[in-house]
Amino acid sequence: MAGVPELKPVTVSIARTVQPGYHRQFAAWAHAGQELAREWPGYLGSGWVRTGPASDEWHVMYRFADVDALEDWDDSAERRWWIDSAGSLIKVTRVEHRTGIEGWFDQPGDVSITVPETMVPPRWKQAVGIFVPFFPLSLLANFALHPFTGSWPLVLSVLLNVCLLTPVMTYLFLPLSTRLLRHWLHAPRKPRQGAAGRRPS
């Protein structure tokens, strides 16, 4: 539509100096930040790189679908809590905002991604992915077993169902459901409606 600005993904690169001897603690802290951001609207991924094997400087990178989604995350109570939890472990030395895919690939030095990002679907989608195969399979199992277990105590009947369905769900139906729903499960999250009226920065 004419007059509507194009929304571009934004990558933030923050250079942080880590106190000597605290690199393992820093990696755990950065991973905690990933976990907090995973289900935030507009989140596209994150990671951290080190400028050299003996360097104390790391680049924490995170990417959002547009400026408004990024601002919502930057201003959130979750991120403030996460930043405060670092204490004196780190010091910020430089912050850069970049648009376009090139923001992931132009870090200086000999760098490598320490922990690759895995995009996790929202929990409600995971629940739907489990329910879709579980309900008909559970219904079928109860129908097939009822002639044999109808007179059993309820706890034994349920136990038999669980013992039979658990391996079938784990090794057959859950992987099948995940493959069939893959595109829906991993569809990019839309920014919240409240962010539409915010001014771009």
CA 190, 195, 197, 199 torsion-angle sign: negative
DSSP H or E stretch at residue 15: strand 10-18
* pLDDT per position as a tens digit, 15-73: 888 988 888 888 888 888 888 888 888 888 888 888 777 888 888 888 888 889 999 99
| pLDDT band for position 196 (cuts 50, 70, 90) | very low
The residue with greater pLDDT, 2 or 81, is 81
Q: Tens of pLDDT along 97-132? A: 666 544 444 443 333 344 444 456 788 888 888 899
What confidence score (pLDDT) does residue 200 get?
Answer: 43
Whether the predicted pLDDT of 92 surpasses 80: no
Confidence of residue 7 (pLDDT cuts 50, 70, 90): low
Describe the strand order of the beta sheet including 57-64 as a list of residue ranges. 43-50, 57-64, 10-18, 90-99
Residue limits of CATH 3.30.70.100 in the chain:
10-104
Whole-number Cα distances in Å, 88 to 92, 96, 115, 123 = 11, 22, 23, 33
Q: Does 3.30.70.100 match the CATH number of domain 10-104?
A: yes
